[in-house]
A = this chain, B = another copy of it.
Amino acid sequence: MYSIGEFSKITGMTVKTLRFYQEQGLLTPSAVDPRTGYRCYGAEKIEVARIIGELRTLDFPLAEITEILRADQAGASLLEHLERQQQAIAQKLANYKQINAALGRIIEQERQARTAMADASFDVEEKTIEPTLVAGIRMRGRYSDCGKAFGRIARRFGRHLCGKPIMLHYDSEYKENDADFEACMPVRMGADVDGIAVRQLAGGRCVTLMHRGPYDELGRSYAKVLDYMKTHGLAIDLPTREIYHKGPGMIFKGNPRKYLTEIQIPVRSA
């Protein structure tokens, strides 16, 4: 016979836990001194404690452990308990996997927003861009509808995504309600899936400018780019592009004054 302290050392369970298990009717002492209230555990309780410990390691709730111990004789039910528990664990696992993936995406986005802010120059520049594989949805309507399209692409391509969202503008003039545009996201690989086209976006020479501020002030930056092109005798090669380096975050919408949008206009000598 062991005192609760001794039994605690043997089983690796705290004294508090042992008292709690007694209260729950899960693991009762072999005897209790009626005068002092001292608990006594017999050697046969060690095996019971071991089983409880194993089942707790497998995250079984105490109520179910009580059931399993009671049904020990039957034996047949153990397998079913195990299978049910595996279901339960699999659910939690799936849940945390999802959370983990979501956190990964958000963190990545935040990091890129930081570096974009650090790297930006805010001057009109000419550069050569690389060809890029993108998944895109071409649409007509209002620019503000592009959010949903980016969302659809992101959900579909998940971990194959590899860059910021890009919008292609196919109109040569500004259109409010009937614009012709395409929401794209760079992907590592992939094929067409319901309404989303995967293709190579051509590279080449272009004029760029990083715009800082809300989207409704993009016009000012476009003016700067077009001035530059006129001065240098360059002509537009549609579609033009906008790259959203930093927009409303997933958590905080953030301050529109800090949004970063890169304007890219493919050009050829006029």
- Quick one: given A78-B252, A251-B51, are A57 and B93 in contact (CB under 8 Å)? no
Copies per complex?
2
Contact code string A102-128 (vs B, CB < 8 Å = 1, else 0): 111011001100100000000000000
Q: CB of A178 within 8 A of chain B?
A: no
- Inter-chain contacts of A75 with B (CB < 8 A): 252, 254
Q: CB of A82 within 8 A of chain B?
A: yes
Nearest Cβ distance between residue A38 and chain B, in whole angstroms?
29
- Inter-chain contacts of A250 with B (CB < 8 A): 54
- Quick one: given A58-B102, A99-B59, are A110 and B252 in contact (CB under 8 Å)? no
Q: Check if A114 sits within 8 Å of B51, measured CB to CB.
A: no
Q: CB of A55 within 8 A of chain B?
A: yes
Q: Check if A253 sits within 8 Å of B47, measured CB to CB.
A: yes
- Inter-chain contacts of A252 with B (CB < 8 A): 51, 72, 75, 78
CA distance in complex: A72, B253 (Å): 11
Q: Check if B99 sits within 8 Å of A58, measured CB to CB.
A: yes
Residue in B54, B72, B82, B103 whose beta carbon sits within 8 Å of that of A110 in the complex: B82
- Inter-chain contacts of A92 with B (CB < 8 A): 96
Q: CB of A200 within 8 A of chain B?
A: no
Nearest Cβ distance between residue A100 and chain B, in whole angstroms?
5
